Amino acid sequence: MLNYDIVVIGGGPAGLAAAIEAKKSGIDSILVIDRDRELGGILQQCIHNGFGLHEFKEELTGPEYAERFIEQLKELDIECKLDTMVIDITQDRLIHAINTEDGYMTIQAKAIVLAMGCRERTRGAIAIPGSRPAGIFTAGTAQRYINMEGYMVGKKVFILGSGDIGLIMARRLILEGAEVSAVAEVMPYSGGLTRNIVQCLEDFNIPLLLSHTIVDIKGKDKIEGVVLSKVDSHRKPIAGTEKYFECDTLLLSVGLIPENELSKSAGIEMDPATNGPIVNESMETTVEGIFACGNVVHVHDLVDYVSQESRRAGSNAAKYVKDMLIRNGSTLQARPGDGVGYIVPQIIRTDNLEKNLDLFMRVKNVYSHGKLVIRVDGVPVREIKKKHMAPGEMERIKLDLELLKDKNDSILSVEVEKEVV
Amino acid sequence: MERKNMICIVCPIGCHLEVERIDEKVIVTGNQCNRGQAYGIKELTNPTRVLTSTVKVNNAHLSRLPIKTKGGVPKHKISQCIKEINSVELNAPVKLGQVVIKNIQGTGVDVIASRSI
């Protein structure tokens, strides 16, 4: 059996930032485990720019952003096991893992940081009717094929879902010589950032069809086309609006799910709104000594925020190893109010906060000129005006610790209020 | 006189801009900040984009190397730039930031490797 103070599971942006911060916090015995053959995670296939505006004050591509963190990891001499699959984690922080060099191994950790990221929703998850031919990919799989492995996925492509990956792949496919007929979105608004709609779709005259979904897939061995239909306000297809689009490839960009099989096997309590573990202000889950950060907790839209959150997980895992985290003391529960989908962290132990509390949340609808109202036990403590809020854009609130002091067993809530003009 | 509606792509707010050219002057309205004004003027007079793509790389664990243009290239030259990028073939090792194409299509902008491989 191997022994480490901190084991980080996942070598993507979250795992890298957590491991680096834990080392800087004075912990020497750290191991990072990743199942891929190199570090960096999904950033390695995100060759477009727009990363790092907060972290480095410049626009980087995914691989560039990753390389800066990988270099730091190497300089700090942090140990890694690549090509290694973690099979199970127990409540007492015993890790079962396997690779072709060491075979099966067990690793005892004093603290664990879960940083497994998320995976894409597939055709099965959204139950598209029709035959089951070849040529249907998730947008991220196509991205890895094209940007890293050097395989082109098709010539005439239809994209379902307007998440950022779908939009970015629309532009990528055009640049690689494919034809993109359209991007269809079931919601009346896009799930991606406005800037991506402009520079990925409008720049290349790709139509974005809102309130549309696929009602049939044609083709036996290979996909030949899709049938698109308009949907009503309940997202139900409207009969008589069907339209056929010929294509040899269908890309799905229909949402991401935190990857939590290991968290569940460790008995960690999950939040049904985020599909990730319930965490506290230190990014610790409901199992003592197991921390989580990044997309495994909730799906972020900016990697910069993942890095920030993960540093918090890393430094607190180090504090835990040194027995410096305060376990009892005043505690608040965060609850989403009207118009808010979720809040992270869900548990706040004020004694562990230094001066601010960062709350992350997503709103449920598109709002212009609204405000976020923060209440403690029903009493408003702060209001933040927002010119624009959308489900595709994560909201971050920095709360002054003074507002939360001496509140025990309290409920902190955030709700959207529409501004009266 | 030329008039154009556009959405600013500098930040996530996505202001709806109205950009108007009267003689030699460009007037931007609808922007909530100065960056929107700069974007509006540039987008009407000389729209540019940072181009990212990949080139073929040999002797590496992957077959493609990601690249980017070091600055914005004119929008109307994107397809020519992509053609030139697609003609490049490299051998590993390549360092991050290494120049892959100098002054692509006479734009004055270099294409660089965006990772080490």
| DSSP string across A54-87 | TTTSS-EEHHHHHHHHHHHHHHTT-EEE-S-EEE
Tell me, what's the pLDDT at A223? 97
Percent of chain B with pLDDT over 90: 58
What per-residue confidence (pLDDT) applies to A183?
96
3-class DSSP state for residue A286? coil
Worst-scoring range by mean pLDDT, A27-31, B36-40, B72-76? Answer: B36-40
Q: Of B63, B65, B64, B68, nearest to B51 (Cα)? A: B68
Query: Which regions in chain A score pLDDT beneath 70?
Result: 419-421
d(CA A311, CA A354): 14
Average pLDDT of B88-92?
94
From B6, B61, B66, residue closest to A47, measured CB to CB: B66
Chain B neighbors of A146, CB-CB under 8 A: 54, 64
CB–CB of A241/A173 below 8 Å? Answer: no
Instruction: Specify the pLDDT at position A420.
Output: 56
What's the pLDDT at A419?
67
CA dist B36 to A66, A386, B32, B56, B70, Å? Answer: 30, 18, 7, 37, 22
* Residues of chain B contacting A66 with CB distance shorter than 8 Å: 115
pLDDT grade for B8, boundaries at 50, 70 and 90: confident
Question: Can you tell me the ipTM of this complex?
Answer: 0.89
Q: How far is CA A218 from the centre of its chain?
A: 32
Least confident of A83-97, B6-20, B31-45, B65-79: B6-20
User: Which pLDDT belongs to residue B1?
Assistant: 63
CA distance A345 to A327: 16
The Cα-based distances of B86 to A68, A278, B52 in angstroms read 27, 47, 12
Q: Is B5 on the interface with A (CB under 8 A)?
A: no
Please tell me whether residue A265 adopts helix, strand or coil conformation. helix
Contact A393 B63 (CB under 8 A): no
pTM of the predicted model, to two decimals? 0.92
- 3-class SS at B1? coil
pLDDT at B14 over 80: no
Residue A272 CB contacts under 8 Å (≥ 6 apart), including other chains: none
Token code pair at residue A96: 């079962």
- In the A/B pair of chains, how many CB contacts fall below 8 A? 81
Cβ contacts of B64 on chain A, cutoff 8 Å: 146-150
Chain A positions touching B94 (Cβ under 8 A) are none
Contact residues for A167 (Cβ-Cβ < 8 A; gap 6+): A183, A190, A192, A196, A197, A200, A201, A253
At residue A368, the pLDDT reads 83
As a whole number of angstroms, the distance between CA B3 and CA A99 comes to 62
pLDDT at A335: 95
Residue A390's pLDDT is 85
d(CA A398, CA A383): 12
* pLDDT on residue B12: 65
- A77 touches B at CB < 8 Å: no
Identify the three-state secondary structure at position A125.
helix
State the nearest Cα–Cα gap between A151 and chain B, in angstroms: 9
- Decide if A388 and B32 are in contact by the 8 Å CB cutoff: no
Q: What is the mean pLDDT of chain B?
A: 90
